[in-house]
Amino acid sequence: MNANPPFTNKLIHESSPYLLQHAHNPVDWMAWSAEIFQLAEKQNKPILLSIGYAACHWCHVMERESFESEEVATYMNTHFINVKVDREERPDVDHIYMDALQAMTGAGGWPLNIFLLPNGKPFFGGTYFPPIAMHQRASWMEVLKSVQEAYVRQPEKLIEQSENLTNHIAQTGKALLSSKGSIDSANEPLATKEELTLIGNRILHNADTQWGGFGTAPKFPQTFSIQMLFRNYYINHHEASMVHGVRSLDKMIQGGIYDHIGGGFSRYSTDVQWQAPHFEKMLYDNALLLTVLAEAYQITKKENYKMVIEDTILFIDRELSNEAGGYFAALDADSEGIEGKYYTWTYDEIKAHVDSKIFDDFCAYYQIKEEGNWEHTNILWTQNNIEEGRIATFEKARKILFNERAKKIRPALDYKIILSWNNLMVIALCKCFGALGEEKFKNKAIATMQWLELNLYNESENYFYHTHTKGNKKSYAFLEDYATLIQAYIQLQIITGEVAYLEKAKQWTEYVQIHFLDEESIFYYYTAAYQNDIIIRKKELYDGAQPSANAVMCANLIYLGSVFDQTKWVHQAEQMISNMKKMMLQYPNSYSYWAQSFSQLAAGVSELVSVGLNAPKAIPSVLAKFLPHHLILFTKKEDENIMMTIGKQNIDNQYFICKNNTCSEPIGHLDEFLANI
C-alpha cells in the first residue's frame, strides 16, 4: 500500500523545508531556475511566483485554503507556470520582487505572490489572498482569473507595466546616493559628536517611554537603534539614550516575546507591551539580541542580562543546533495548525503542574488569568523585574512546565543552515564571551566557524555557499554572507588574539572587492558578478530585520583598513558614509547599523595593542568593558603585515593606546591600562 499523498510535484526533489512543505500540493510547483523562463516562453504563460519561508504563519494558511484545493490547483496548472521560492534560500529573488510589490501597493509581506511575464519582469502582485473575497480583498481565484484575462487581452499594457516596474527597481537607491557629501572638504569633518547627538535624539523621538522600544504595534526589537543609543551614551554621556536602551531590553525580557520557560526570543510582538509575540523563533533575531544584551551587560552589569544571555544560548544549543557546530534557521510559529499552541497554557494546565503553595503568586507574577490573557489561553509575561522571578520555587515550577511542554507536539524546525545567520551567531557568541568571560562561548564561536568553513566553502572554486540543508549546498553566497563572515573573523581575532583570523578577513574583503563592488567603487551589489539567474543586480542599503550588508562592509573596511594600513579601504568607507549621511541623519531608525560606523568616525579609531606570549591572557579583562570604537589587538607575536605590532615583540605586560598613528608610552600594569581606556 502506498502511504504517500496522491500528489507529488517537482519540489519533492528540493532540500528546503519550506519547498518540501508544498511538495504534495496538487499545484504543479517548480523551484526557481532558468528552466521556468524557457517553459513560460514556450507555453506562452505568465509565471506565478510565490515566495515564503518555513516559519511563516500566513504562508501555511494560504497553502491550506488555496494551494491544497484541487479546483484552484487545476486552474493554476492550466494557466500559469507556478514557482515556489524559499526567501531564506534565495533572498536575492525575494528582494527584487518585494521591491516590485512595494512599488505597486506601498506594502509588503509574506506570502509574496507576484505575477511575471515569461522574461521574469513583474506586472502584478499581492501578499495573502483569502479563498473567499473579504474586507475589500479579492479572493485568490478572482485574482488568478483577472490576471489570466489581462494576460490574454491586454499584453501590451502588461509589458508596459512590467518595464516600468523593472526600471523602478533598478533606480531604487540611486536617488539616495545621488548627492555626495563634503568628504573632500578640509574644513568640515565627516562625522561629529554633535551630529551623533542629533541621531540619538531622533531615534528617541520614536521611543515608547512606557513600554520601551519604538513606535506602536507590531513592535520589533530594533536592536541596531538600541546599539546606537548606547554609543551616543558612550560618546556624549547622553543619559536618556542609555535609559531608553535599557528600558527597551528590560521590557522585552519581561514580555511574552521572551520565552520565560525555555529561553530565546520570538520575532516580534503584536502589541505595544511585548506581551503577545508572533511565535516564530529565528536564529538571526536571537543572535542580534544576544549582541545588544552583551553590550547592555558591559554597560550596566545587571544580572538579568547575564541570565537571559545564558538561557538564550541554552535554547539555541538545545533547539537550533546540529550539534556539530552549525545552527538551524528557525522554529515555526505554529504547531498542530495553531499559532503559539506550543508556548501557551490554560489556567487549568498551570494549576495542575504548579505547586499550590506558590500557585497564586506564580499566576500574579506571570499575569496568568482563569479566562486567559490572550485568546482564551495564557502567555507567560511579567511587569516585574525578572530577577524577582528567579526564586527557587519559581525556578522549580518553570522546570516542571518546561518538561510538560516538551510532551507537546513541537513546532516544525526549519533545518536550513544559512551562512549569514550563522555568522551573526558567531559574532554574538564572541560578544557574549567578551561581556561575561565564559570560555564556553568562545569555544562555541570557534567551533561554529570551523564547521562553516568545512561545510559551506567550495575550495576547488573558492567561494562559499549560502545554505546547507542536510548536506545539500545551495546558491552562491550573497553579499550579506561575505560581509558577516568578515565581521565574524574580526570578532574571532578580538577574542582569541589570533592574527590568522584577520588574514582571512582581509582575504575575503579582497574577494568582495573583485566580485561585488559597483562601477563607482563605493558600494556593493547584493549578488556577485558571476551570478546570472536574476533580472537585475540590486544594492541593499536599508537596515531591516538584519543589517544592510553594505553597512556591515562599511564597518569592516574601517576596521581592516586601520589594521592593515589600507587607506583606500578607509577612504571607501568614508565615501559610503558621506553618501548615506543624509539618510542617517533624517531617518536614523532605518539606518542605525550604518550610524554605528558614523559614530566610529565621530569618535575616531582607538587602537589597544599588546604583543607577547602572555598578551592574550589580558583579553577577557579588556573585553569586559564597553568599548564600541576600539580596535583591540592582543597577540602573541608581531606580524609584518600589521604595523601596529611592529617593535612591540616580546614585551610582556606592556599595553599601548594608539590613535592617529601615534601610540602612548607603554603602560606596565593592566589595571592602570584599563583605567585609561
Cβ pair 55, 414 in contact under 8 A:
yes
Q: What is the reported pLDDT for 650? A: 63
For the domain 193-335+414-604, what is the CATH code?
1.50.10.10
Cβ pair 57, 280 in contact under 8 A:
yes
Q: What is the reported pLDDT for 649? A: 66
Cβ pair 512, 553 in contact under 8 A:
yes
Sign of CA dihedral 62, 68, 69, 74: positive
For the domain 10-171, what is the CATH code?
3.40.30.10
CA trace torsion 367, 254, 542, 57 (10° rounding): -40
Q: What is the reported pLDDT for 653? A: 80
Q: What is the reported pLDDT for 182? A: 47
Which residues of the chain fall below pLDDT 70?
A: 1-6, 173-187, 649-651
Q: Where are the domains of the chain?
A: 10-171, 193-335+414-604, 343-407, 608-675
**Crossing angle, helix 419-436 and helix 479-496, to 10 degrees?**
20
Please name which of 573, 425, 570 lies closest in space to residue 485, comparing C-alpha atoms.
425
Give the neighbor-by-neighbor strand order of the sheet with 606-611: 630-635, 606-611, 656-659, 662-663
Write out pLDDT tens, residues 418-428.
Answer: 999 999 999 99
Strands 417-418 and 338-339, sheet pairing: unpaired
Q: What is the reported pLDDT for 174? A: 66
**327 bridge partner residues:** 321
Please state the pTM of the whole predicted model: 0.94
Write out pLDDT tens, residues 617-675.
Answer: 999 999 999 999 999 999 999 998 998 888 776 667 899 999 887 888 999 999 999 99
Q: What is the reported pLDDT for 176? A: 62
Radius of gyration of the chain (CA): 26
Q: What is the reported pLDDT for 622? A: 97
Q: How far is CA 589 from the centre of its chain?
A: 15
Helix (H), strand (E) at residue 179: none
Same CATH fold assignment for domains 10-171 and 193-335+414-604: no
Write out pLDDT tens, residues 494-520.
Answer: 999 999 999 999 999 999 999 999 999
